[in-house]
Amino acid sequence: MKCGEKGFSSVKDTAPIVKTGNGLIRGFCRNQNAVFLGIPYGDRCDGAFRFKEAQPARDWDGVLDCTKYGAIAMQDVMDMDLLPEPVRKVVQDYADVFTGGIPFDKKQEKPNENCLHLNVVTPGIDDQKRPVLVYIHGGGYMSGSGGVTAAICDRLIDEKDLVVVTVNHRLNAFGSLYLGDFDAEFAQSGIVTQLDLVLALKWIQENISAFGGDPDSVTLIGESGGGMKIHHLLSMPECKGLFHRAIMISGSIPAAAKTKQQGTAETLAVLEKLGIPKEDWRKLLTIPAQELLAATRGLELIQPNSTPFMPTADGVRMPANETGCFHVCPEMAHIPVIIGSSEEEIATNVLNPMLTWDGLRDVLLKRENPLLQVVSGITEENVDAVIRIFREKDDIKAPWQILGQIVSTAHFLGGGSYLAAIARAQEGCKVWHYTTTFDTPVPGAGVLSCAWHTADLPLAFRAVYHAHGEDLSKTIAHSFAAFARTGDPNTAENPWKPFTVDHKETMLFDLTAVCVNAPYRDIYHILSSVSPTFKGGFAV
């Protein structure tokens, strides 16, 4: 498999038909790939089924039209037409980066409680048994869908001969509102999002052969919230055999660490916002979906040590993580993983282009932005040392970039990937680690650029908006495709050593890619004394 080779897409039928376990479906041909959208993998989850585990999709007669996107999870969908022109331009710039400039109209995706649909894109309807790449979307546990990735993956499929599946599933209160303390019947309500994904993975095992995919070669890939969901799937023993490799991009957080007490507190906050007394909690089962959704508005997606509506472990299907640290589920320890993040993940959340070096010092000490609580141990005595260590790593970065890197590396979206890699390495698991250092222009910020959150995701799917990212896109896609095919991302074009306790090899993805031993050792060491994320430096 050579880097950048192409020509695997070979579908000729303009209206391909596939027989699934539930019935026949009709898709369409796009760039010689067969595309099937909105395939039901689960039954209804509204009404009496709200907050409960979904059942498999029901069978249907005839041929189901799968040429349009199915419903997405309940969430607010931005109406570009209602935005002021300057804001609309910035939002469109972000969208263009995420799609590689491929037009995608979000209006074709409609929110609904009954959202258990997936999309399949394949280069051939045959018996080739290709590796299957299952994309789990980001947006925390609050928003998002698999639509965009299903729309932009044609180049990747044509070059790498993969089958791509993207999955919609329940989110926010509909997917993780914990009611187990109110009624044992809802003991699993806090992991419904994860159970939806398990159901989708079971559908893939049963059906993907009909799309030219290999059920024995399934790789999960997810960014941001998608990475978090994969971490949680890796904590669920019943997932053994449902997937075989995993790639977590910019979304590492200790799985199953949210307690039932925390889950109940979140539910009580929702009840309070709705004006529903605790003793009347059953009204949550029947209130209109839009009212329940309204109770989730205003929550910050990126918080110092969590994201809203993460799963609340039930202690059975998702064993509780008593330590609150990264850990390895014994039943899933055999899964090889790639874990990584970007150097300035959340720089755009603390962006201040006019920041001076003195101003940086002041910002770190005052910590007025809640995200700066990730470095709550910074004091007058150590602030200069922290800044110096980061500047020594890259002395051409401006103060705003250093602030972004400090906060990002100390945050679970950034440094969390390193901690997750350490935890798996300590258990002897196969793990590869990376950091994206490639600078992408920040939409709406003029000439400013940095390695911001999710800017590298479309590159992995060969959707390139900025031309200078083309070579890096080929490199990332080639490594990830090799991993999906063999369980090892090491290639002749891009040598990549595994990450171990003794040799903390990290791939640095930039204009050129290079594997370096412990490139952030000094940074992790200083953060171990000032950041609660690093819990006293157990991983340094």
- Residue-wise pLDDT for 123-162, tens only, equals 999 999 999 999 999 999 999 999 999 999 999 999 999 9
Contact between residue 132 and residue 216 where contact means Cβ atoms under 8 Å apart: no
**79 has pLDDT over 90:** no
Exposed/middle/buried for 423, CB within 10 Å: 0-12, 13-18, 19+?
A: buried
Contact between residue 463 and residue 155 where contact means Cβ atoms under 8 Å apart: yes
Q: Is 121 helix (H, G, I), strand (E, B) or coil?
A: strand
In percent, the amount of the chain with pLDDT more than 90 equals 91
**Tens of pLDDT, residues 432-490:** 999 999 999 999 998 999 999 999 999 999 999 999 999 999 999 999 999 999 999 99
Q: What is the pairing mode between strands 33-40 and 28-30?
A: antiparallel
Distance CA 108, CA 114 (A): 16
Residue 2 pLDDT class (50, 70, 90 cuts): low
Mean pLDDT for 263-291 is: 96
Beta-strand runs (E) in 209-310: 213-223, 245-249
Q: Give the pair of three-digit tokens for residue 472.
A: 């890096």
Mean pLDDT for 117-124 is: 98
Q: What is the pLDDT of residue 448?
A: 94
Residue 1 pLDDT class (50, 70, 90 cuts): very low
Q: Give the pair of three-digit tokens for residue 352.
A: 């201040």
In percent, the amount of the chain with pLDDT more than 70 equals 98
Distance CA 114, CA 170 (A): 8
Catalytic residues, by residue number, are 224
Q: What is the pLDDT of residue 538?
A: 44
Q: Give the pair of three-digit tokens for residue 3.
A: 């880097």
- How many CB atoms are closer than 10 A to CB 512? 11
- How many CB atoms are closer than 10 A to CB 287? 14
Distance CA 26, CA 24 (A): 7
Chain centre distance of CA 295: 24
Q: Give the pair of three-digit tokens for residue 77.
A: 């969908």
Contact between residue 82 and residue 39 where contact means Cβ atoms under 8 Å apart: no
Distance CA 161, CA 158 (A): 6
Whole-prediction pTM value?
Answer: 0.96
Contact between residue 150 and residue 30 where contact means Cβ atoms under 8 Å apart: no
Beta-strand runs (E) in 371-509: 431-436, 440-441, 449-450, 505-509
**315 has pLDDT over 90:** yes
Residue 537 pLDDT class (50, 70, 90 cuts): very low
Phi and psi at 526, nearest 5°, equal -70, -35
CA angle 185, 188, 194 (to 5 degrees): 155
Distance CA 242, CA 211 (A): 17
Cα–Cα distances in Å, from 125 out to 122, 129, 468, 481?
Answer: 7, 10, 34, 20
Contact between residue 487 and residue 481 where contact means Cβ atoms under 8 Å apart: no
Phi and psi at 211, nearest 5°, equal -105, 15
Distance CA 60, CA 310 (A): 34
